[in-house]
Amino acid sequence: METDASPAIVFDHVSVTRSGLNILDQVNASVPRGSCTVLIGPNGAGKTTLLLALLGEVSYRGSITLGGGRGLRIGYVPQKLVLDRGMPFTVAEFLSMGVQKRPLWLGISRDAKKQATALLELVHATHLIRRRVGTLSGGEMQRVLLALALQQDPELLVLDEPSAGVDFEGGRLFCELLDDLRKSRGFTQIMVSHDLGMVAHHATCVICLKRRVIAQGPPAKVLTGEVLQTLFGMHMGLICAQDHLHSMPAGNEQNAPCGEHHHG
Amino acid sequence: MVDLSWLFHLASLFPLDGMDMRFMQQALVALVLLAPMTAALGVQVVCYRMAFFSDAVGHSAFAGVAIGLVLGVNPHISMPLFGLAVGLIIMFMQRFSALPSDTVIGVVFSAVVASGLAVVSRNNTIARDLQQFLYGDILTMTETDICWLIALFVLFVLFQIFAFNRLLYSSTSSIIAKAHRVPVAFFEYLFAALLALVVMFSVWGVGVLLVTAMLIVPAASARNLASSAGGMFWWAILVSLSSAVAGLSLSVQPWMGTATGATIILVSCAWFVVSVVVSSVRNERQS
């Protein structure tokens, strides 16, 4: 029976094969509601493929259940946007194209502009409204893409390496912004990240992926030497991660139970 | 047949020698209908990077006519229908094939050109029409063609009203658009169908060789001149319409005597040069 306590996403024996190669092999995992779940793993582990399967962009075997079967409204923030940098396309238009009925060649309506400004306020980027999308820096682009995703009033926010191409400070601020938004708007967040420090500080649930699920659960329980060695084949990650874990704020485990490794 | 005499009367008021002749009036009306369509669709072709697609559809024109003649179908009907089919086949193959998009288009492109040439090589009477398709001739547009163009123009306006924003969304990122519940496939097929039909009508006017130029050059100029996506739409129409009217006016001057299609494209290329200068000056001021 469906309840609000059901996981936001359940991956059940999800496999993806491309050109005879197993990209994902029998992935079983669940993403708790309201959690910040991070997919980690080495290059080629299938993290982005799992997100694309979730978005229906790649075909897969097995099943992916969203919101206990009733589906979820999704907001998606890609790693980057391949755009013609010289294209005259303003941030205001970018944030109006999905909500305005009137074609943009008749101008932006007052309502759409108000909504675009409100969205940019949420991501602390109102100053970008008149800028061309092609001239935005990596960090600015991430905020505008996040604003576009938030326009969907998402129940599930999907992010593919949001801090890639952003400097350390920018990445940290972006993660803090995501934490605040998640708490205030109550969405579930699933993201791919390579940054174990960020994972330790911001994730409430971690899924370790290397074509199949190696481990899943709260970061304090999952980011162990054994798991990281299986995942990355070396101890470097462990040293960094354990340092972060010792200094991890207590509030980090506030969210719903996470995955198989949780013992409630 | 719809009575279009009022439209031709309006065209006859255009201050240009020879506008009292019906074929000149028809040419002007056809260009005033075609130019905004190629311009606005050109903006979307630039956004979607679909220049090669429109080239392939344009090159299917001759096969469309040749196959129509062989099957005893009026070329004015067989050509746009064949172009439409080619456009939709390319879109379908792009969506469901693992091959890169330009490879798919390249295969279909080769197939339609080879089909056209194969039919022509068996039938010499069709071969003499080849030149018209290569260079086009807006002066041969018939009243029936113009009726079809008006119908297409109405479809085009409706499409631009309802689909412009959604197409912009999906051309920015089809994955984001799909995740955010935009029916991407529906709009892309509609766009491909409309583009294929407009390309086929443009082939009558400017020929296979220049049809892509009619889509791309005004859009490229507009990209340099505009400061927003909405602005780019209007700039492209202005560049295209003014190039079409100026190209027609110049080409019929005794001292020019050039092909109308080529003259139109040359005028829009002059627009492009101006747009590059304007854009450079603007960028210099900003930096």
ipTM computed for the complex: 0.89
Q: A195 vs chain B: nearest CA distance in angstroms?
A: 24
Are the beta carbons of B263 and B247 closer than 8 angstroms? Answer: yes
| H-helix or E-strand spanning residue A31 | strand A21-31
- Give the CA distances from residue B135 to residues A139, B24, B139, B206, B219, in Å, rounded to whole numbers and listed in that order: 49, 18, 12, 6, 22
pLDDT number for residue A250: 40
Cβ–Cβ < 8 Å for A14, A209: no
pTM of the model: 0.88
- Residue positions counted in chain A: 264
Radius of gyration of chain B (CA): 19
Distance, in Å, from the CA atom of B120 to the CA atom of B127, rounded to the nearest integer, reads 6
| Amino acid symbol at A80 | K
Q: What percent of chain B has pLDDT over 90?
A: 59
- Between chains, do A74 and B179 touch, taking CB under 8 Å as contact? yes
Q: State residue A84's pLDDT score.
A: 82
Instruction: State the DSSP code for B130.
Output: H
CA distance A20 to chain B (A): 14
Task: Tell me what pLDDT residue A2 has.
Answer: 44
Residue B14 contacts A where some CB pair is shorter than 8 Å: no
What's the average model confidence in pLDDT over A132-148?
92
Handedness of CA B62, B217, B104, B110 (dihedral sign): positive
Cβ-based neighbours of B258, under 8 Å, separated by 6 or more: B250, B251
* Cβ(A40)–Cβ(A193) below 8 Å: yes
What is the DSSP-derived secondary structure letter of residue A192?
E
Alpha-helical runs (H) found in chain A: 47-54, 91-94, 110-122, 138-150, 168-185, 196-202, 219-222, 225-232, 236-246
Q: CA-to-CA distance for B270 and A195, rounded, in angstroms?
A: 51
Q: What are the tens digits of pLDDT across the range B55-70?
A: 899 888 888 888 887 8
Please name the residues in contact with B128: beta carbons below 8 A apart, sequence gap of 6 or more: none
A149 contacts on B by Cβ (under 8 Å) = 176, 180
pLDDT score recorded for residue A192: 94
- Give yes or no for a contact between B57 and B200, defined as CB atoms under 8 angstroms apart: yes
Q: How far is A146 from chain B (nearest CA, A)?
A: 11
Query: Residue A229 has what DSSP assignment?
Result: H
The dihedral sign for the CA sequence A99, A105, A111, A112: positive
CB contact, 8 Å: B125 with chain A? no
Q: Which residues contact B255 (CB under 8 A, 6 or more apart)?
A: none
- Segments of chain B scoring below 50 in pLDDT: none
pLDDT digits (tens, 9 = 90+) for A80-118: 888 888 899 999 999 999 999 999 999 999 999 999 999
Q: Tell me which of A167-171, A197-201, A246-250 is least confident.
A: A246-250
Of the candidates A158, A195, A182, the one whose C-alpha atom is nearest the C-alpha of residue A52 is A158
CB contact at 8 A, B191 and B174: no
Which chain B residues are within 8 Å of A100, Cβ to Cβ? 165
Residue B74: the pLDDT is: 83
Q: Which amino acid is at B270?
A: A
- CA distances to B45, B221, B229 from B215, in Å: 8, 11, 16
Our CA dihedral for B98, B100, B102, B107, rounded to 10 degrees, sits at -40
CB contact under 8 A, A56 and B232: no
Q: How would you list the strands of the sheet with A21-31, edge to edge?
A: A21-31, A9-18, A61-66
Q: Pairing between strand A21-31 and A9-18? A: antiparallel
Chain A contact set for B228 (CB, 8 A): 88-90, 93, 104
Q: Is it the case that residue A43 has pLDDT exceeding 50? A: yes
Report yes or no: B276 at the A interface, CB cutoff 8 Å.
no
Rounded alpha-carbon distances, angstroms, from residue A173 to A77, A129, A137, A242: 16, 20, 15, 22
Residue A254 pLDDT:
42
* 3-state DSSP assignment of residue B184: helix
Give the CA radius of gyration of chain A: 19
pLDDT of A255 strictly over 70: no
All residues at 6 or more sequence positions from B114 whose CB lies less than 8 Å from its CB, including other chains: none
Pairing of strands A36-40, A156-160: unpaired
Give A106 to chain B, closest Cα distance, Å. 7
User: What pLDDT does residue B208 have?
Assistant: 85
> Pick the residue with more confidence: B209 or A51?
A51
Q: What's the whole-number mean pLDDT along residues A217-240?
A: 77
Cα within 13 Å of Cα(B170), Cβ side: 17
CB contact under 8 A, B176 and A86: no
